[in-house]
Amino acid sequence: MPALYLNGFETSARLESERIIITQYDPLREEKQDHTVHLRDIDRAIFTGQPAVRMSVFHALLKRGIPISLLSESGRWLGGVVPAEHGDISRRLRQYELAANETIRRKIAAALVRRKLLNSRRCLQRLAANRSESSEQHQQKAVTELADLAKQVTHARELDEIRGYEGMGAAIYFSRLKDFFPEETPFEYRSRRPPHNEANALLSWCYAILTSEIDTRLRVAGLDPGLGFLHGILYNRPSLSLDLLEVYRAPICDLLALKLLNHKVLQKMDFTYDAERGGFYLKKEAKRTFFIEYERSMERLFRRPGEEKHTTFRRSIEDDIHNIIKTLEKPEEFQPDFFAMP
């Protein structure tokens, strides 16, 4: 089911019966355009920037169990609003208890990093196959090193050691991933705050949107997104949301960014440089294009390895959250694993 996206201060939303009326002002044409979304057709809402949303819209969304994510114009995660009925305190108490258990925490953290490394490896394999580069030496070196790290991380004895494997894997992965970006919008190296070029701006934006979606789904499931297993506790950081994000960075965000840039769905002109913040950011119209493509990606049907049933990225995220819950309920019996990229 699609999301309701409201983007920027030139967008407003009001409620009429069971419908949300969205008004968007076009400053170039100096005109307003309305379109309607029925409440029954959405299951989550994401507000970026400062859209003018009437309180009646907030009430209607929450009454129907629809969570709301709030992000800044640049894509920084601000927080979420979740319906009141979603709050399993016993589940959170169990989460707090096990987060203090270093053995359980290490087991979950290692499973997360192992899957991130393998998904990153699979991403490079697919990209190289599309360009007939699978046998090239630098490609073989990257996928071999990622596979080796995925084996080693399962034997790690300390959280810092697990994080070290994650960091080494990220360096290997990005050093190869940069080769797949177009010349017009090169990647060069990973930078976040601020993103130093268009490719990094798009990656950061996608990571932020996906983090907001994971965060609200964790809250709805009764978990505390601020208490993770791989990421430590830090003020105002959604550590558990970031834990799950690691699994999906390559399969969702990195491949989507490459698709949009290589197919010129988004181009250099769709980004702007903000001198005050010192970085590149998506323009408003480009964000609308992004959301359309993001929804298509999240709802695309595929089969996971060894399974006959079709799934989507959204269902896979729900499955992974359920895996965390099962681990919390029976930590000695359940071996956690996470989404495997097909």
Please state the domain extents for the chain.
4-66, 89-329
Whether the pLDDT of residue 86 is over 70: the answer is no
Q: Would you say domain 89-329 falls under CATH 1.20.120.920? A: yes
Q: Of residues 164 and 77, which shows the higher confidence score? A: 164
Evaluate whether 4-66 and 89-329 have a shared fold.
no
pLDDT in tens, 218-228: 988 889 999 99
State yes or no: pLDDT of 88 exceeds 80. no
Instruction: Report how far residue 105's alpha carbon sits from residue 99's, in angstroms, rounded to the nearest whole number.
Output: 6
Strands 4-7 and 45-48: parallel
Q: What percent of the chain is modeled with pLDDT above 90?
A: 52
Rounded to a whole number, what is the largest CA-CA distance in the chain? 63
Q: Which residue has the tokens 């681990």?
A: 327
**Which among 8-17, 58-67, 261-270, 325-334 has the top mean pLDDT?**
261-270
Do the Cβ atoms of 185 and 194 come closer than 8 Å? no
pLDDT at position 133 is: 83
Residues 81 and 63: their CA atoms lie apart, in Å, by 12
Binning pLDDT at 50, 70 and 90, where does residue 316 land? very high
Higher local confidence (pLDDT), 307 or 37? 37
Name the CATH code of domain 4-66 (choices 3.100.10.20, 3.40.50.740, 3.30.700.30, 3.30.930.10): 3.100.10.20
Q: Distance between CA 125 and CA 129 in Å, rounded? A: 6
